[in-house]
Structure 1
């Protein structure tokens, strides 16, 4: 049985990643600071090694304790994290860095690995923690992966677009789910044609495994739904998954309240964000159909207390807009 060390692993993508590797016969160990409860407890618990990955010696001790065949790095948010990890885990059979579609610099449609330029990252940006530098730091992490591969490390990168599914603490999709599930009408910015490709969390987890098993050192692989849905179509899919009907009230920038912009709504894009996924498909990876993915997403959303209320306009603001649009 091969062993995998998941750096991170107790939340959202991590939960799905642990489940994916376990379902495929791997012996999984989590490595994190222990700040979040281990969701894999009980009789069939997943072993947890506590370590702060930003403390080199702690990460090295975890590596020596586990001696993993595969490392999946979910929480490398700075380029140095990747450089240190690819050094510490240089002898592992595979190191997979979770990057992001935000690493791309050009707004090409679609964005392609090895063709679309990556963002630059200055020394000061590389140690920053702000949202504004997130994509830049992920791009520099990718370059650290490529450099490690040049030195003989089987290091690879996976670039997901916006991820959705059960246990999504970002609450971006929860905002729309709560609206669709509880109200007969929702305000949709623009004409419903905004396109921001998503990626189902279990598909991201399977991509991490497939790349670890079959990927090529020094390569990056995009992950996104095979069929990208414009926002209006996505809301129709959400309504179907919730077994309800919803009226979409389209609002131009002029029809929104003075303090609102279209991009105040989650998942809105004024220009399509689309990642090419042929490279990952060539490894044998497959995306889950939307209707199949949304069933567990809706079920877990209803069981949670997440409503995404702080991710977009308040309902009373939305109600005022709906009144004006009648």
Structure 2
């Protein structure tokens, strides 16, 4: 039986990736600092404690676990990826979780072999701000390509915004909360943007590990592209309710000192990823209604506090302005 080592593994993408590999017959170990609750504490999942920025700790994990597959869910700086591809150079597969934010041009769609990546300066490569996230992920991809050129079977997966159970960002949960609580909600005019279900990211990671080409990046995303109002309708259908989505402009939001970007999942320009390359190795997306149902059920069951988006008082004022 093959063994998968998940760097990360207890929060969101990593948590689902652990489940994906276990469900498909792998022995699984996780490597992290142990700062978050371990959901696999009662299961046969080995936990190795260590800081992924510590190369000696990573190497100890390699020697202890002897993984066939390594999935890197916690590499936020290019140096993390470069060192990991050296430490795990002899594994069957190393998969780096990159991001659709790595793309440096706004084109439709964004293709792995055509669309330029973000540039990344040495200063950006060691920064921790959101503004440098895309450049840092892009430079991590370049480290994967360089490793592939050295004969390492290193690959990357590029998801857009990810939704699903255990999503601690609450970006998708904001809209679930609004639909559950109100029958009329404010929705900014927003560009088309790709989303992807977390379980599909996990299945894509396994597909890439098993069948991907060395030194290659793979986009992952929904096969169809609902606009935000359609996502809201899918949420309402799952909840067995109805909602009126009142689409408003930047000018109308400005009357209460709001901007479209204050709303989760807003995007000014379409963000669409071509997924043909991933599909060519046998990956398939889960039907969207099923993923929305699973996500809504989890959010409702946990009754979690949503700390995203404008407060309802501001929304009411916008709705009053539109109605008048």
Q: Kindly indicate whether residue 239 of structure 2 is the aligned counterpart of residue 242 of structure 1.
A: yes
Tell me, in whole angstroms, the C-alpha distance in 1 between the residues paired with 2:303 and 2:70.
32
The TM-score normalised by the length of structure 1 is 0.97
1:198 is the counterpart of 2:159: no
1:178 and 1:307 in contact (8 A); partners too:
no
Q: Is the 8 A contact 1:5 1:68 kept in 2?
A: yes
Deviation per CA, 1:14-57: give whole Å up to 9, x if none. Answer: 11100000010000000000001110122x33110001011111
Look up the match of 2:149. Answer: 150
Confirm or deny that 1:320 pairs with 2:317: yes
Q: How many Å separate the matches in 2 of 1:16 and 1:234?
A: 22
1:21-170 map, 5 Å: 21-42=21-42, 44-170=43-169
- Give the secondary-structure state (helix, strand or coil) at the position aligned to 2:25: coil
Question: How many corresponding residue pairs?
Answer: 322
Decide which moves more: 92-101 or 289-298: 289-298
Which of 247, 255, 277 is 2:252 aligned to?
A: 255
After superposition, the C-alpha distances for 1:255-291 in whole angstroms (9 at most, x for unaligned) are 1134211111111112110000000000100001111
Correspondence for 2:272 among 271, 274, 295:
274
Q: Secondary structure at the match of 1:320?
A: helix
Tell me the equivalent position of 1:17.
17
Please point out which of 303, 308, 313 is paired with 1:311: 308
Q: Which runs of 5+ in 1 are unaligned?
A: none
Q: For the aligned residues, what is the CA RMSD?
A: 1.0
Q: 2:226 is paired with a residue of what secondary structure?
A: coil
Deviation digits for residues 103-158 of structure 1 (CA, Å, limit 9, x no counterpart): 00011100000100000000010000000000000000000000011111000010
Deviations 1:187-223 (A, max 9, x none): 0112xx5311100000000000000000000100000
Structure 1: distance between partners of 2:45 and 2:182? 40
| TM-score after normalising by structure 2 | 0.98
Q: Residue 3 of structure 1 aligns with which residue?
A: 3
1:304 CA drift (Å): 2.0
Structure 2 residues not aligned, in runs of 5+: none
The answer as to whether partners of 1:175 and 1:307 remain within 8 angstroms in 2 is no
Q: Secondary structure at the match of 1:228?
A: coil
Instruction: Give the Å deviation of 1:305.
Output: 3.8
Rounded Cα–Cα distance in structure 2 between residues aligned with 1:161 and 1:141: 16
In structure 2, how many angstroms separate the alpha carbons of the residues matched to 1:240 and 1:261? 28
Find the partner of 2:211 among 211, 214, 222: 214
Distance 1:195 1:307 in 2: 27
> Aligned partners of 2:84, 2:261: CA distance in 1, in Å?
36
* Equivalent pair of 1:195/1:228 in contact (CA under 8 Å): yes
CA contact (8 A) 2:194 2:225 kept: yes
Verify the 8 A CA contact 2:72 2:97 in the aligned structure 1.
Answer: yes
Contact residue 256 and residue 317 of structure 2 kept, 8 A: no
Q: In terms of mean alpha carbon deviation, does 225-234 or 90-99 score higher?
A: 225-234
| 1:288 equivalent among 286, 289, 292 | 286
- Other structure's SS at 2:47 match: strand
